[in-house]
């Protein structure tokens, strides 16, 4: 199994890319601390932002981002060591989900004339790093703890020095993984768990011998889901390209179908029917795999490829929700009546406690990270280009802080915060 740990370092020339780093034009006057660990003296941080939607050219490096401080009792501030990219980052860079995500960030904008901008936006949905500060009600983690989390799309992302989340979203990182490895997991794990458990009705204790089909098994969600379901005792069939067969078999897939083969539909139709389908591909695949579920037995089709946010972007909130809702409703009714199959949409959902369970499985060696490519922080645009090319085999990771510096940084972080606390205590 260890051979499936794919760590292909994309050694591109860092020196060249640093020349192209543009500075954002924020008119903030920031005082930067010389130390790379955080303190209340540091008001600005470095990161990659977008201040308009578009192609890769909108990604801009700046050192003038206000540090996202702890502002509520349940907040946890994390120094980011590694982040990873998801297809959502490419879509969000282009404006996908802008309407709904903006509403989630600024709920009052729906009733007020204040149409404040969502920019600058920081992308990046996964983080592995070290806690540097906590709100007064945080009990589960403390400064100095190594943690991981999936950053909800409506929050500022992890392609920056620091990110602040709520305690519920954060979990202790698996001890057996480096930060770069750990950053490949949280967003796909939270998505897979939400889809398989909430929509697919599976769980650790009820999956034994369930037959599950995963389409798009070679990508981020697929490579995680195969391993999770095998750890739960399910029988897993995967569709992927021929050159990914070795990878998915190495992760535990029982049966593999090359979807590019001319007879792929026939191969799938000859198999014993499935209890659950997790569809990471959508489109034409949907109709094919719906017919592969066991009829009249409570079987569930769960797709991660939904039109909800696109509909809202193109039609506005109310019409978009109604249109997507009516499409979901009619497909659900049609599949229930014709074959007794439940048709459902799966979504990412933030869930730190679920990541605690995943952490245990990873430390037990039951789930391995599948990191296809790593990029240094200076090469975030190159990482986006890699992802945009498609054909993912696991995940693309960005090393925000090089791990050689880790020990020193953890110590600095804790010492500085301890000093801050003492100072505050003395003042009061
Ligand atoms: N609803 C939600 O909340 C979420 C939705 N998603 C969506 O789920 C999907 C999967 O995400 P993720 O795993 O991160 O994506 P990735 O890009 O990591 O992986 C997609 C994989 O699918 C393979 N693939 C492409 N076409 C087919 C096909 N017809 N049949 C089988 N395999 C195929 C690709 O390889 P190759 O082309 O070489 O075959 C690639 O390995 C994406 O569309 C993503 O946007 C993800 C997370 C949350």
Q: Which residue has the higher pLDDT, 11 or 65?
A: 65
Q: Are 274 and 239 in contact (CB under 8 A)?
A: no
Biggest CA pair distance of the chain: 75
Residue range 349-376: average pLDDT?
A: 98
Map residue 285 onto helix, strand or coil: helix
- The residue among 308 and 32 whose pLDDT is bigger is 308
CATH number at residue 319: 3.40.50.720
The finding on whether 248 has its CB within 6 A of some atom of ligand 1 is no
pLDDT, position 107: 83
CA distance 302 to 304: 7
For the CA of 215, the closest atom of ligand 1 is 31
Same domain, 156 and 241: no
Q: Looking at the structure, do residues 157 and 192 belong to the same domain, yes or no?
A: no
Last residue of a domain, one of 292, 327, 345: 345
- The model's pTM is 0.89
Q: Is 262 left (phi over 0), alpha (psi -120 to 50) or beta?
A: alpha
Are both 169 and 274 inside the same structural domain?
no
Residue 386 within any structural domain of the chain: no
133: CA distance to ligand 1 center in Å? 35
Asked whether the beta carbons of 121 and 92 are under 8 A apart, the reply is yes
What digits encode the pLDDT tens for the residues 86-104?
999 999 999 999 999 998 9
Residue whose Cα lies nearest atom 22 of ligand 1: it is 216
Task: Establish if 303 belongs to a structural domain.
Answer: yes
Let me know if residue 86 belongs to a domain.
yes
Tokens of 2: 């260890």
Question: Are 68 and 82 members of one domain?
Answer: yes
116-144 residue pLDDT tens: 789 999 999 999 999 999 999 999 999 99
Mutate to test the pocket of ligand 1, among 183, 185, 219, 306 (most ligand atoms within 8 A of CB): 219
Residues 212 and 91 in one domain: no
Would you say the CB of residue 240 lies under 6 angstroms from ligand 1? yes
| Per-residue DSSP letter, 370 | -
Residue 229 resides in a domain: yes
Residue whose Cα lies nearest atom 2 of ligand 1: it is 347
Using the atom order of ligand 1, give the atom closest to the CA of residue 346: 1
**pLDDT value at position 152?**
98
Residue 42 has pLDDT above 80, yes or no: no
Instruction: For residue range 284-305, list pLDDT tens digits in order.
Output: 999 999 999 999 999 999 999 9
Report which ligand 1 atom has the smallest distance to the Cα of 393.
Answer: 41
Distance separating alpha carbons of residues 214 and 278, to the nearest angstrom? 5
Q: Is 166 in the pocket of ligand 1 (CB under 6 A)?
A: no
Are 268 and 337 in a shared domain? Answer: yes
Task: Examine the domain organization and report whether 128 and 226 are in the same domain.
Answer: no
- Chain-wide mean pLDDT for the chain? 87
The half-sphere exposure of 190 on its side-chain side, counting CA atoms within 13 A, is 26
pLDDT tens per residue across span 232-283: 999 999 999 999 999 999 999 999 999 999 999 999 999 999 999 999 999 9
Return the ligand 1 atom nearest residue 223 CA: 13
CA distance readout (Å), 121 to 52, 58, 72, 82, 105? 8, 11, 21, 18, 11
Picking from 298, 324, 345, the residue at the C-terminal end of a domain is 345
- Asked if residue 133 is part of any domain, the answer here is yes
Q: What mean pLDDT do residues 167-191 have?
A: 98
Is 80 exceeded by the pLDDT of residue 408?
no
Residue-level pLDDT at 403: 74
Label residue 221 left, alpha or beta by phi (over 0 means left) and psi (-120 to 50 means alpha). Answer: alpha
d(CA 108, CA 113): 9
In a domain, 248, yes or no: yes
Which domain covers residue 154, as residue numbers? 10-182+410-427
Phi, psi of 358 (to 5 degrees): -65, -40
What letter does residue 212 receive in the DSSP assignment?
Answer: E
Same domain, 16 and 134: yes
CATH number at residue 23: 3.90.180.10
Alpha-carbon distance of 174 to 360, in angstroms, equals 7
Query: Which atom, in ligand 1's list, is nearest to the CA of 345?
Result: 1
Does 423 share its domain with 318?
no
Q: Which residues of 380-402 are buried (b: 16+ CB within 10 A; e: fewer)?
A: bbbbbebbeeeebbbbbbbbbbe
- Ligand 1 pocket test: pick from 96, 191, 216, 257 the residue with the most ligand atoms within 8 Å of its Cβ: 216
Q: Using alpha carbons, select from 86, 81, 176 the residue that is nearest to residue 130.
A: 81
Specify if 379 maps to a domain.
Answer: no
**Which one of 100, 261, 280 would you pick to mutate in the ligand 1 pocket, going by the greatest count of ligand atoms within 8 A of its CB?**
280
51 lies in some domain = yes
- Domains: count for the chain: 2
Query: Is 98 in the same domain as 156?
Result: yes
In short, whether 215's Cβ falls inside 6 Å of ligand 1 is yes
| Confidence category of residue 175, pLDDT binned at 50, 70, 90 | very high
Residue 188 CA, closest ligand 1 atom number: 47
Q: Do 196 and 317 belong to one domain?
A: yes
Cα–chain center distance at 38: 25
The rounded Å distance from CA 219 to ligand 1 centre is 6
What percent of the chain has pLDDT above 90? Answer: 77
300 Cα–ligand 1 center, Å = 19
Same domain, 55 and 174: yes
Among residues 319, 345, 371, the one where a domain terminates is 345
């Amino acid at each position: 199994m260890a051979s499936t740990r794919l760590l292909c370092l994309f050694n591109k020339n860092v020196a060249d890319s640093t020349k192209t780093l543009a500075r954002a034009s924020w008119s903030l006057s920031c005082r930067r601390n010389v130390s790379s660990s955080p303190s209340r003296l540091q008001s600005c941080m470095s990161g990659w932002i977008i201040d308009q939607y578009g192609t890769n050219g909108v990604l801009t490096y700046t050192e003038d981002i206000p540090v996202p401080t702890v502002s509520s009792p349940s907040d946890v501030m994390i120094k980011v060591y590694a982040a990873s990219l998801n297809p959502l980052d490419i879509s969000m860079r282009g404006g996908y989900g802008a309407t709904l995500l903006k509403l989630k960030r600024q709920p009052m904008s729906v009733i007020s004339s204040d149409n404040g901008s969502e920019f600058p936006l920081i992308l990046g949905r996964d983080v592995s790093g070290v806690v540097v500060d906590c709100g007064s009600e945080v009990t589960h983690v403390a400064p100095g703890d190594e943690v991981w989390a999936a950053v909800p799309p409506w929050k500022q992302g992890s392609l920056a020095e620091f990110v602040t989340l709520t305690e519920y979203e954060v979990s202790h990182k698996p001890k057996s993984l480096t930060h770069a490895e750990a950053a490949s997991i949280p967003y796909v794990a939270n998505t897979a768990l939400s889809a398989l458990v909430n929509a697919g009705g599976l769980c650790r204790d009820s999956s034994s011998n369930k037959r599950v089909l995963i389409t798009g098994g070679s990508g981020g969600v697929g490579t995680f889901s195969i391993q999770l379901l095998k750890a739960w005792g399910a029988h897993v069939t995967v569709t992927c390209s021929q050159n990914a067969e070795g990878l998915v078999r190495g992760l535990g897939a029982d049966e593999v179908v090359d979807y590019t083969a001319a007879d792929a539909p026939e191969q799938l139709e000859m198999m014993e029917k499935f209890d659950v389908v997790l569809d990471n591909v959508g489109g034409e695949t949907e109709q094919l795999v719906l017919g592969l579920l066991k009829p009249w037995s409570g079987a569930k089709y769960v797709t991660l490829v939904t039109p909800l946010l696109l509909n809202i972007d193109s039609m506005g909130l109310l019409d978009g929700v109604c249109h997507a809702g009516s499409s979901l409703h009619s497909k659900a009714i049609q599949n229930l009546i014709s074959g007794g199959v439940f048709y459902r949409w799966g979504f990412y959902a933030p869930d730190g406690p679920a990541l605690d369970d995943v952490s245990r499985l990873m430390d037990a060696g039951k789930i391995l990270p599948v990191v296809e490519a790593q990029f240094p922080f200076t090469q975030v645009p190159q990482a986006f280009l890699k992802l945009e090319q498609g054909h993912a085999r696991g995940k693309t990771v960005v090393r925000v802080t090089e791990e050689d510096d880790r020990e020193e940084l953890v110590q600095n972080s804790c010492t500085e915060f301890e000093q801050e606390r003492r100072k505050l205590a003395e003042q009061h």
